[in-house]
Structure 1
Amino acid sequence: METNKISSSSKNRFADYFVICGLDLNSGLEPDTVAGDNLQSSPLERPYKCKVLGHYPDNVSWNPFDKDAVGMLCLPHGLQFRTQKHPLEPKFHSFVITRQDGKRHYGASYVFFEEVRNRKIASAMQTLQAMHLTELSSGQKAARRRSVLDHNTRSLPRHFKLTTHHARTAMNYYDHTKDTLHVTKSIALVLQWPFIHAAEAFLAGLYRCWKEQGPVSLESHIYQLLYEVTVPGPSRSLEFLCYPDCLTLLQRPSAIEELPLCDYSLREMFSLLGVDCVLQLFTCLLLENQILLCSSEYQRLMLVAECMTCLLFPFSWPHVYVPILPASLHHFLDAPVPFVMGLHSRENKINIPSEANLCYV
């Protein structure tokens, strides 16, 4: 009897896993060719392979941990390196994992930049930078030779532009003697319910606690969330405290009378898309068309996808549902079935075979 009680309460946890994703120092720098590695880009513009560095607990029976899926969705574009010359503000996005049986589990990822103190990684980045500059210089020499042959005159060619991308090039240049190297890292939660605002409040508070060296250990905050915060029943609410003094509310709608739980702002979606676009998108959902969302922010992809599928109530979307499509899964776009998928705007030049039947937002 006591065992059944424990099992029942465990399945009602707010969060099933706490996850850390980032750079594995033992593996070093591994270019992520699947995520769109471009050797013509500078090393700071290329994606690198990320790994799940740790997760707690190891496994729960009602929600088996999917290491590959969580790793891809916590950092959908792989590891990104930056220097102090770039914006280094943390970013948050949620995600959804759809299992083979159609059941959905949600996640929340808080991505921040951590200083690289490992000399081997910094040295490897410097080596890649030197190789890239060598390739650029050899390519420019060949281009200059062609230009001289094409323009046998002392005047500048008509297509010559005085304005170049020197500013961007300088920003993406890494000098180990002057620059401080940073790499993306993600702290994440895997949830059974889409309580996104509460997850964001906890992760942002945990990050702040780490930065400020708070009085309570990070492990204590994580343990409390995993084992002491439970999901309230239908028509009930629960409050818990996030660092430093952020009171966070969990509230569940009733089982039948209300819309399903949607912790995303409908107002924000309407302000982003406008009423006409929302109505057209809603029509495409009802007609079971292929729908491809595109945005420069991963969280906006989730916002639109979750709000639109929520508005289908009392119907539901039974087809392929991948609001954030990692670069390694772009072949999913070839599927001849209805789907809702989302792409980051940096990847919007992908060729899609069935564009004629596609609703693009």
Structure 2
Amino acid sequence: MVETDLTLIDYFSVIGFDESVGLKPDHSADVISDYVEASTSNQNQPPLERSYVARILAHFPETRPGFPFAQEISSLCMPKGLRFYTEKIEPKFHSFVNIREDGTRINGCCLTLYEEVQDEQLRQEIVNLQMEHVKDLAMVEKSTQERVHHPP
């Protein structure tokens, strides 16, 4: 029997919310959205429309001789960052190719599965962000109303 290193895939990765990092805004998603659509800064958007940092939670196998694991895989799988939704979202699939400066290629495909947030602390953090956002909007509206000049 002949052994070979040929496999259908090099790595399987799980990418998502990392509790140890928490909800950190993903500013790289701002750059991407500027090219794709005319949008406002991540911080000016409601919390459920913002992008958050996604992390590699696991990858299998741990290592493969001659095939180092690509750490940039999270941005290729979630180019607009980690998002939260209030309604059920169907799974989404996309493929990608990334050619590095040295000419090596990363070919991949991503199946994004959406699941309900079970962590109460994370849910509360999203609610708190939403409340802050509403307060900020109210302050902006109040300050613009105070500055309006009404002629006598």
Q: Give the structure-1-normalised TM-score.
A: 0.37
Q: Equivalents in 2 of 1:59, 1:108: separation in Å?
A: 19
Q: What letter corresponds to residue 33 of structure 1 in structure 2?
A: H
Q: State the partner residue of 1:146.
A: 147
Task: Note the 1:206-285 alignment, pairs <5 A.
Answer: none
Q: Equivalents in 1 of 2:53, 2:110: separation in Å?
A: 17
Q: State the partner residue of 1:80.
A: 83
More helix by share: 1
Does residue 1:44 correspond to 2:48, yes or no?
Answer: yes
Does residue 1:71 correspond to 2:65, yes or no?
Answer: no
CA contact (8 A) 2:46 2:133 kept: yes
Q: State the partner residue of 2:93.
A: 92
1:109-131 deviations in Å (ceiling 9; x for gaps): 01121110001111111111111
Equivalent of 2:25, from 31, 34, 40? 31
CA contact (8 A) 2:15 2:56 kept: yes
Pair 1:101–1:89, CA change in 2 (3 A): same
Q: What letter corresponds to residue 75 of structure 1 in structure 2?
A: M
Q: How far did 1:92 drift?
A: 0.8
Q: State the partner residue of 1:20.
A: 14
Q: Give the structure-2-normalised TM-score.
A: 0.85
Q: How far did 1:102 drift?
A: 0.8
Q: What letter corresponds to residue 140 of structure 2 in structure 1?
A: G
CA contact (8 A) 2:15 2:57 kept: yes
1:215-262 deviations in Å (ceiling 9; x for gaps): xxxxxxxxxxxxxxxxxxxxxxxxxxxxxxxxxxxxxxxxxxxxxxxx
| Structure 2 unaligned blocks of 5 or more | 31-40
Q: State the partner residue of 1:184.
A: none
| Structure 1 unaligned blocks of 5 or more | 154-361
Q: Equivalents in 2 of 1:139, 1:76: separation in Å?
A: 31
Q: What letter corresponds to residue 16 of structure 2 in structure 1?
A: G
Q: Equivalents in 1 of 2:106, 2:21: separation in Å?
A: 29
Q: How far did 1:88 drift?
A: 1.0
Q: State the partner residue of 1:233.
A: none
Q: What letter corresponds to residue 38 of structure 1 in structure 2?
A: N
Q: Equivalents in 2 of 1:70, 1:108: separation in Å?
A: 10
Q: What letter corresponds to residue 138 of structure 1 in structure 2?
A: M
Q: Equivalents in 2 of 1:24, 1:99: separation in Å?
A: 27
Q: Could you say what secondary structure the match of 1:16 adopts?
A: coil
Q: How far did 1:143 drift?
A: 1.3
Q: State the partner residue of 1:102.
A: 103
Q: How far did 1:18 drift?
A: 0.7
1:306-350 deviations in Å (ceiling 9; x for gaps): xxxxxxxxxxxxxxxxxxxxxxxxxxxxxxxxxxxxxxxxxxxxx
Q: Equivalents in 2 of 1:38, 1:59: separation in Å?
A: 35
Q: What letter corresponds to residue 79 of structure 2 in structure 1?
A: P
Q: How far did 1:14 drift?
A: 1.0
Q: Could you say what secondary structure the match of 2:21 adopts?
A: coil
Q: Equivalents in 1 of 2:106, 2:82: separation in Å?
A: 24
Q: What letter corresponds to residue 83 of structure 1 in structure 2?
A: T
Q: How far did 1:34 drift?
A: 2.9
Q: Number of residue pairs matched?
A: 142
User: Between Structure 1 and Structure 2, whose CA radius of gyration is higher?
Assistant: 1
Q: How far did 1:99 drift?
A: 3.3
